[in-house]
Structures are given as C-alpha cells and as structure tokens.
Amino acid sequence: MNPPFEQFVTFLHTADLAATADFYERILSLPLARDQGVCRIYKISADGYLGFCAHIEPASPHGVIATLVTEDVDGWHERLKARGVEILKPPAHNPKYAIYHFFFKDPNGYLLEIQRFDEPLE
C-alpha cells in the first residue's frame, strides 16, 4: 500500500532563526528547501522536511526528539564532534529498540538523535 501523502514537514518554534539556520545549514549540512522569511524549511530526506519558524508559539522542547536515520552513525558522530557539537550520549547499540544511535541538542534545546535501525523500516 502506498502512503496517502507525498511529503512530510514538521514545524518547530525557534526564538533565534539565525542560530538555528547556522546549525542546520553549517553543522548538519542540510539543504535549505525554502526560506519563507520567518520560517526556514530543511530537506531531511527524499520527501521529509523539518521547518523552524520564529512566528509560531513556543512549546517546550522537552518531549521532542527529531531522529535522523542513516547507516553512517559513527561518521556523523565524528563529524559533529569535530564541529564542536556536544554529544549527550555517544553511539551505542540499544537492544530494546534494535537501534544504534546517539543524542545531541540543537540551539533551541530540541533533542536530536542520529540512528540506524538493526532492521530497516521498509
């Protein structure tokens, strides 16, 4: 069965769009898909996007985890460390969820995870 939608965008609040743009563009090297002035939308995968807006109501970053899935977990860990990103938990296998992953935070306090599934979702 094909999914019912073609793309997915998650929008999150930011109080500092410039710092957020620097982090996602320079540190994570994500392509900017759309600059809407008060919002910036980044391409995460073929059809997945993450947007940050300065005009939407802030919500607590606690309880939000944005997970970026890749086979190159260790490579990303080294890249981020080299760029001065504080790693909260180094790469480790989590048998409970059958993943290999690590955590860090963006300038807004959102928890980011880079992970690889032991068995791909599809």
Whole-angstrom Cα distance, residue 67 to residue 8?
Answer: 14
Please, what are the averages of pLDDT over each run of 10 residues along the chain (122 residues)? 86 96 97 97 95 88 89 97 96 97 96 95 80
pTM of the model: 0.89
User: What residues make up the domain containing 111?
Assistant: 61-122
Output the 3-class SS for 89-111.
EEEEEECCCCEEEEEEECCCCCE
Kindly state whether residues 80 and 48 are assigned to the same domain: no
Tell whether 72 and 49 lie within a shared domain: no
Instruction: Say whether both 91 and 112 belong to one domain.
Output: yes
CATH at 86: 3.10.180.10
> Is there a domain that residue 30 lies in?
yes
Q: Are residues 70 and 95 in the same domain?
A: yes
**Is 1 inside a domain boundary?**
no
Same domain for 39 and 65, yes or no, is no
| Contact present, 114 and 106 (Cβ < 8 Å) | no
Sign of CA dihedral 5, 12, 106, 65: negative
